Amino acid sequence: MSIQRQDEDGAMAAPPTIDWAAGPIRCAIRSGEIHLWRIRTDATGIELAHGLSLLGARQRTRAARMRHQPYRERYVRAHAGLREILSRYLEEPPESLRFAYGPAGKPALASPAVPLSFNLTTTGDLALVAVCSGVGSSTDLGVDCEWIRPRHSIEAVAERMFAPEAVRDIASAPQHERLARFYRAWTALEADAKADGRGLFRPRPAGAQPPAVLHCIPETGYIAAVASPKLPPVSDWTTFDLLPRA
């Protein structure tokens, strides 16, 4: 889990805010780089009928089972957006992409022409996709984003889910900072667990080293974390907005 920076008065230093540029139609990524993409999952995002046409059978079946319409629409736009993004690196149609799934359900490209690691997170009206070059444990990649909103009993959740130092950090913070510190710790936990695909409730394999974790603010009201064994500073990330094609 990442170490939180604090000012001299003990206040938590804010993560950097992301500036987004329109994503290119064709995209290349070099070894050691991190690309972070933003997808709108509300009505300003991908048109739903088009999004559904990009999904594979597994994703369409899952979407059809979602009874809550807003959740279903966000799911379609997020996963269609993921396919659109990956297709820009692979130069293949989004609907032709095929995925394999790890023991805890983490997706990976099946036999890609270009080796890529990626991870998707969705929250509120926003989804993020992190991408890096290569496959294997040295390029494990996890991303989590949370829409910051009030929660009850954050100390009790922290006691159950977080490492002792994170619990102490939240408990010792001024009341007005505790929610921000909780979400900082939560996104770090999720991104870490997603990086190697073990899932949130499985322990790290014996002897495995935890990834580096860095935070950013993708837009006001959200916080995100990216985890990977070799993680460049946020200022070196390339950040793209996925804009619906005309």
Place of tokens 């002792």: 164
Mean pLDDT, the chain, rounded, equals: 92
> Is the Cβ–Cβ distance between 109 and 119 less than 8 Å?
no
Place of tokens 């444990």: 137
Place of tokens 């921000």: 180
3-class secondary-structure state, position 32: coil
191-223 pLDDT tens trace: 999 999 998 888 888 888 999 999 999 999 999
* Domain ranges, ordered by start, for the chain: 21-241
The confidence score (pLDDT) of residue 71 equals 96
Phi and psi torsions of 130, nearest 5°: -100, 140
- CA gap 173, 212 in Å, rounded: 24
Place of tokens 């996925």: 242
The residue type at 35:
H
The residue type at 16:
P
* Confidence grade of residue 245 (pLDDT, cut at 50, 70, 90): low
Place of tokens 């010792």: 172
* Confidence grade of residue 3 (pLDDT, cut at 50, 70, 90): very low
Write down the H helix ranges in the chain. Answer: 48-54, 57-65, 69-90, 154-161, 164-172, 178-195
- CA gap 130, 35 in Å, rounded: 6
Length of the chain equals: 246
Architecture in CATH of 21-241: Alpha-Beta Complex (3.90)
> Is the Cβ–Cβ distance between 51 and 78 less than 8 Å?
no
Of 77-86, 94-103, 198-207, the one with minimum mean pLDDT is: 198-207
